[in-house]
Amino acid sequence: MGFRLRHLLGALALSFGAGANASAELVVIVSARNPAPALNNDQIAAIFLGQSGRFPDGAEAVALDQRIGSQERNQFYQQVAGKTPALLKAHWSKMVFTGRGQPPREAPDNVAVKRMVADNPSMIGYIERSAVDASVRPIMVLR
């Protein structure tokens, strides 16, 4: 019984360790050609929740989401807006139903988000920090 218990505890410890490392450090990015300053949580949440279509300097801001169900998307909305996937779905159902907005366009992964944001100075997205290169500029680090 001692061996089985140790084996079970070891497996349990590994599963908790994997879960703790599952969330990557995310950054909110804009094109390297976008002069937008660093933004705070409220400003970023407003853009991604359809409450603002502008950067603080008045330039157009077009939010770009990761795909539904992705770890990055779930982590982003939890950290920036305090919304679970269910709450986010309810938010957008209400916004669409009342005619006040449409959810952001989606991209399949970090590479696609980075490429699309790099190519369009109006776009704002979020990716894993490890995916950042000179084509985009981080304006907020999510911890």
Is residue 11 predicted with pLDDT exceeding 50?
no
Mean pLDDT of 49-65: 96
Domain of 107 in residue numbering reads as 23-142
Q: What pLDDT shows up at residue 22?
A: 60
Is residue 57 predicted with pLDDT exceeding 80?
yes
What number of CA atoms fall less than 13 Å from residue 142's CA on the CB side? 28
Confidence of residue 105 (pLDDT cuts 50, 70, 90): very high
Show the 3-state SS of 12-81. Answer: HHHHHHHHHHCCCCEEEEEECCCCCCCCCHHHHHHHHCCCCCECCCCCECEEEEECCCCHHHHHHHHHHH
Higher pLDDT, 14 or 75: 75
Decide if 4 is inside a domain.
no
Is residue 2 predicted with pLDDT exceeding 80?
no
Decide if 86 is inside a domain.
yes
**Domains held by the chain: number:** 1
Kindly report the CATH number assigned to the domain that includes residue 29. 3.40.190.10
Decide if 12 is inside a domain.
no
Decide if 110 is inside a domain.
yes
Q: How far apart are CA 11 and CA 37, in angstroms?
A: 45
Q: What pLDDT shows up at residue 27?
A: 97
